[in-house]
Amino acid sequence: MRTEMYDVIVVGAGPVGQNVAERSRAAGLSVAVVERELVGGECSYWACVPSKALLRPVIAIADARRVDGARAAVTGRISADDVFARRNRYVTDYDDSGQADWIGSIGADLVRGNGRLDGERRVAVSSSDGERLLTARHAVALCTGSNAVLPDLPGMAEARPWTNRTATDSVTVPDRLVVVGGGGVGVEMATAWQGLGSMVTLLARGPLLRRMEPFAGEMVAEGLKEAGVDVRIGVSVTELRRPDPSGPVGISLDDGTQLEADEILFATGRSPRTEDLGLETVGLSPGSWLDVDDTCTVRGVDGDWLYAVGDINHHALLTHQGKYQARIVGDTIGARAARQPLDTEPWGAHAVTADHHAVPQIFFCDPEAAAVGLSSAQAEQAGYRVRAVDVRFNEAQGANLYADGYQGRARMVVDLDRETLLGVTFVGPGVSELLHSATVAVAGEVPVPRLWHAVSCFPTISEVWFFLLKAYRS
């Protein structure tokens, strides 16, 4: 077995692993990046990128239909083949050579194969080319992401359900699609496949987007219904049947209802990709989420050499959060290697900020739902004295110019003791581009009186900020 030494070993070459590698290289450290699938990971090929490539044509048509004059120009159906071709273009036809070349361009080595911990600072890599043992002088960063979870139901195996991977790489449109799950993946895929021509039924045990303000899920549910989706809340699947592999799926619900679909998609949660990572060789439990501190250093492992970054630490299963963590980790590794105090690093000094109270998230359904920080209920549960301020977007002329009869709602949650924002939620067409302004306000703890001087351009959807602040002052 070949043995090679690097300063840093990164296991997983998705966006998170790439950012760890880049920041570690910027600190002058040698880096090996291990990847068993496509360089670029889940986000690039089966999640964020392909899902948005599928959704954008659907949302563009929906937006056009909200504008007098443009509405008349929308005729016929969306070309699914052209949308699939667009998706394939954005996932580079599932060819990762460009991202593999990028790893080489920053001076890191790409090692293809299955990487597993093999004791302290050691990673064993197995591939068709044989076995290699990599050792790290300073750090090993685990950036392996998460898998879709399928519930344990009778008939699951024979039903051959879709997960997010099938839902984003399919090249055919099922006539009837059942989507199980009311989270982000569920509402986005219901939006996309309904727009591409499927008759979609969305099943959820509880409110949609339940971690957001309640009105967000309610408005998204109404939007889906208006688009033609059969939305059923408060139901669960109890059994699946697909005796003919090429036939439909029979679905039993706990309310006694029977459904039939050509395909069924489960969007019911994620589990960490740690079951085959060699965690037992360093005293950790395989298959578990990894407990980390604010620098993403794994707790329970001596020596501050092991990091868990992105989904597998369970802080926030979002690509942008994983990349944010990765930048912190790369700078932390560099500082520790140089024996510098961590608080001198640009990211490490404030690592806690965006991982705990300023996490932004957007769901690209119709209408879009975007939020950062705490909901009003979460803030109250955390012990803050708060005031929630709500406005409708139709008060802003910019929103009405964006879409005739614009329907949207915004809420900001104010910490009354400090008079800063704890959270902001927007729901409506095009609100995704508003969220970063809210994220800056929450992460920066900008005083509400100071926000009054951040003037929104007229006439834009962002005028909603003026109406939120005006409502707060009244």
Q: Is 113 flagged in the annotation as binding?
A: no
Q: Locate tokens 């944010």: which residue?
A: 324
Name the pairing type of β-strands 130-142 and 2-11.
Answer: parallel
Q: Is 269 annotated as a binding residue?
A: yes
> Is 188 annotated as ligand-binding?
yes
CB atoms under 10 Å from CB of 93, counted, come to 9
Q: Strand 258-261 to strand 249-253: parallel, antiparallel, or no bridges (unpaired)?
A: antiparallel
**Neighbouring C-alpha atoms within 13 Å toward the C-beta of 362:** 20
Distance in angstroms between the alpha carbons of the first and the last residue of the chain: 72
217 is in an annotated binding site: no
**Alpha-carbon distances, residue 151 vs 148, 165, 258, 328 (angstroms):** 10, 16, 18, 35
Q: Is 408 annotated for ligand binding? A: no
300 annotated as ligand-binding:
no
d(Cα 28, Cα 241) in Å, to the nearest integer?
A: 56
Tell me the HSE value of 287 on the side-chain side, using a 13 A CA sphere.
Answer: 1
Any known ligand binding at 311? yes
115 among the known binding-site residues?
Answer: yes
d(CA 141, CA 305): 8
Output the DSSP codes for 399-447. HHHHSTT---EEEEEEETTTTEEEEEEEEETTGGGGHHHHHHHHHTT-B
d(CA 335, CA 348): 9
201 annotated binding-site participant: no
Q: How far apart are CA 439 and CA 374, in angstroms?
A: 11
Q: How far is the C-alpha of 354 from the C-alpha of 444, rounded, in Å?
A: 10
- Residue 278 counted as an annotated binding residue: no
Is 184 marked as binding a ligand? yes
Q: Give one DSSP letter per residue of 266-325, joined into a string.
A: E---EEES-TTS-GGGGT--TTPPPPB-TT-BBTTSTTS-EEE-GGGG-S---HHHHHHH
187 is in an annotated binding site: yes
106 phi, psi to nearest 5 deg: -90, 0
Does the annotation flag 185 for ligand binding?
yes
Please indicate if the annotation marks 17 as binding a ligand.
no
Other residues' Cβ atoms within 10 Å of the Cβ of residue 381: 10
User: Is residue 128 marked as binding?
Assistant: no
Detail the residues annotated as belonging to a binding site for NAD(+).
181-188, 269
Residues comprising the binding site for FAD?
Answer: 52, 115, 144-146, 311
Specify binding-site residues: 52, 115, 144-146, 181-188, 269, 311
